[in-house]
Amino acid sequence: MTENKVKILKGAEELFMRYGLKSVTMDDISRDLGISKKTLYQAVDNKADLIQQIIHQHIEEEKAAIEVITNEANDAIDEMVNIARYVIKMLKEMSPQAIYDLNKYYKKSWELMESLHQQYIYNIINANIEKGVAEGLYREDINPKIVARLYVGKSNLIVDNDLFPIKEFHREELFLEYIKYHVYGIASSKGLKLFKKHIAKLEKN
């Protein structure tokens, strides 16, 4: 990927995350980046293609970030907390309108994001649960495959605008409650003690 292409994708992503997808035009992007529309359209076919490419790049960055977290985690609880911190940080940087617009107006890109959660995130959570059970931090009587699927399925509710209207609920607050709900549901007494020590990290994010 050329340096100019990287600049365009990152610049456009920042605008979309700040103001939403529908309200930002290709004119806005070219003006904000200080490039001509001709240069912009040499890098992408149209706005939908631009969003699709940004999603691809975002997914790769998210995978790399989570890989670092899992490699550096002291235990399953530490891993889960730091993944949550990463997600909350992203949600704080993203306009709720951007999530709503992606779901409503750019279904192909939304389905790509859904694919990430259904495949990659499922594998991460399943491995985390197995690790936590082995460490004695999660209950032994849980089925990791079922719980990991429940985690992925329930996470989609956070961006359901009918259930949680963006004018009433902050996405980062929803995710924080969701992580507490998840960990409290699967942790052993040992894990709960450890999680309570970590919870301040999330609430201070």
Determine the 3-state secondary structure of 187 from DSSP. strand
29 in a structural domain: no
32 in a structural domain: no
Task: Give the span between the Cα atoms of 23 and 148, in whole angstroms.
Answer: 36
> Can you give the pLDDT at residue 111?
86
Number of domains in the chain: 1
Task: Give the span between the Cα atoms of 78 and 138, in whole angstroms.
Answer: 13
Q: Which of 137, 98, 123 is nearest to 18 (CA)?
A: 98
Q: What is the DSSP string of 121-136?
A: IHHHHHHHHHHHHHTT
Task: Give the span between the Cα atoms of 47 and 108, in whole angstroms.
Answer: 13
> Can you give the pLDDT at residue 205?
57
Q: What amino acid occupies position 186?
A: I
175 in a structural domain: yes
Cβ atoms of 168 and 84 closer than 8 Å: no
Task: Give the span between the Cα atoms of 79 and 6, in whole angstroms.
Answer: 30
Q: Half-sphere exposure of residue 86, counting CA atoms within 13 Å on the CB side? A: 16
Q: What amino acid occupies position 3?
A: E
31 in a structural domain: no
Q: What amino acid occupies position 126?
A: N
Residues 6+ apart with CB under 8 A from 169: none
> Can you give the pLDDT at residue 204?
67
> Can you give the pLDDT at residue 113?
79
39 in a structural domain: no
132 in a structural domain: yes
State phi, psi for 201 to the nearest 5 degrees.
Answer: -60, -40
The CATH number of the domain holding residue 121 is 1.10.357.10
pLDDT tens by residue, 157-193: 887 888 998 889 888 889 999 999 999 999 999 999 9
Domain membership of residue 73 as a residue range: 51-203
Residue with tokens 């103001």: 19
Task: Give the span between the Cα atoms of 100 and 68, in whole angstroms.
Answer: 29
119 in a structural domain: yes
16 in a structural domain: no
Regions of the chain with pLDDT less than 70: 1, 201-205
